[in-house]
Amino acid sequence: MDARTVWITGAGTGMGRAAALAAARDGRPLALSGRRPEVLEEVAEEVRALGGTALAVPLDVTDRLAVRSAAAQIEEELGGVEALVLSAGLNAPRRYWRDQDLDEFAAITETNLLGPVSVIDAVLPGMRARGEGTIVVISSYSAWRFSPDAGAAYSATKTALGPLVATLNAQENRHGIRACHLCPGDVDSDFLDRRPQVPGAQERAAMLTPQDVGRAVSFVLTSPPHVVIDELVISPAKPGP
Ligand SMILES: NC(=O)c1ccc[n+]([C@@H]2O[C@H](COP(=O)([O-])OP(=O)(O)OC[C@H]3O[C@@H](n4cnc5c(N)ncnc54)[C@H](OP(=O)(O)O)[C@@H]3O)[C@@H](O)[C@H]2O)c1
């Protein structure tokens, strides 16, 4: 049992996978969550190949009971969760008022806002009892600066993660718990396939890589316990005029 366990949602792909591999290199035991068991198992194998420990715990973050039982399973099999990386996220190609769909709006809200709340809620009592915990919420550049093409549901839910993190720091720092609102700009990942216009190879080459964000997550997780990184904004270098 190792209380340094890191639980990552959205761990099967993109930034979640990159954060997992970075945390494995830092020697942390990992619990990997997302909806697709097969991609989680692939990442778990990559972690084991690095000499690390990984447990795939498939779940849908919008399923509150599944989140609760996953938290209990992780505690039993890997020990208390010391760090959370919340990377599971959703956007829809129809993201303008002229074409958005209310069911999709609700799904984005359930995934991007209530999902993180549910996972955090499941681990906070244990973190409080142990007097330590780090929570990295992968938000978005569009939460830091209004981005007109991100869509109403995505912009609103990601922007709400800022105050979510701020309340955690205001109320839980005294219990040894700290949180970071991590706001990446464009990252070349599967997520871009859900844009109304899917970017091509040339556009993607100018973006951040998931590994860039994985390194930033590692920086937050490995900072000394008295350091709170409230917000971290990372963007690709600007092309200039
Ligand atoms: N790519 C960008 O340009 C960009 C920029 C800023 C912020 N972000 C944010 O960064 C985070 C990671 O995105 P990414 O770029 O790494 O894309 P990604 O590879 O598509 O990762 C998203 C992950 O979320 C998981 N997921 C989605 N819905 C879920 C649910 N209901 N329950 C559990 N897991 C769920 C997906 O796995 P399953 O499908 O297997 O569940 C997937 O592994 C997201 O929160 C996204 O909003 C992305």
Burial letters 216-229, b for 16+ CB under 10 A, else e: bbbebbeeeeeebb
Q: Is 105 within the bounds of a domain? A: yes
**Pair 28, 221: CB distance under 8 Å:** yes
| pLDDT of residue 3 exceeding 90 | no
Residue 219 DSSP SS3: helix
Q: Is 61 within the bounds of a domain? A: yes
For 127, the domain range is 5-234
Angle at 138 between CA 170 and CA 158, to 5 degrees: 80
Band (1; pLDDT cuts 50, 70, 90)? very low
Q: Is 240 within the bounds of a domain? A: no
Give 5-58 pLDDT, tens digit per residue. Answer: 999 999 999 999 999 999 999 999 999 999 999 999 999 999 999 999 999 999
Q: What is the CATH number of the domain that holds 219?
A: 3.40.50.720
15 CB within 6 A, ligand 1: yes
Cα(174) to ligand 1 centroid in Å equals 31
10 CB within 6 A, ligand 1: yes
Q: Is 239 within the bounds of a domain? A: no
190 CB within 6 A, ligand 1: yes
Q: Is 132 within the bounds of a domain? A: yes
Cβ-Cβ contacts under 8 Å for 117 (sequence gap 6 or more)? 164
Residue 125 DSSP SS3: helix
Q: Which residue has its alpha carbon closest to ligand 1 atom 17? A: 191
Per DSSP, helices labelled H in the chain are 14-25, 37-49, 64-78, 102-109, 115-130, 141-144, 152-172, 201-205, 210-222
Ligand 1 pocket test, pick from 63, 191, 204, 231 with the greatest ligand atom count within 8 Å of Cβ, gives 191
Give 54-103 pLDDT, tens digit per residue. Answer: 999 999 999 999 999 999 999 999 999 999 999 999 999 999 999 999 99
DSSP 113: I
Domain count of the fold of the chain: 1
Q: Is 241 within the bounds of a domain? A: no
Give 142-200 pLDDT, tens digit per residue. Answer: 999 999 999 999 999 999 999 999 999 999 999 999 999 999 999 999 999 999 999 99
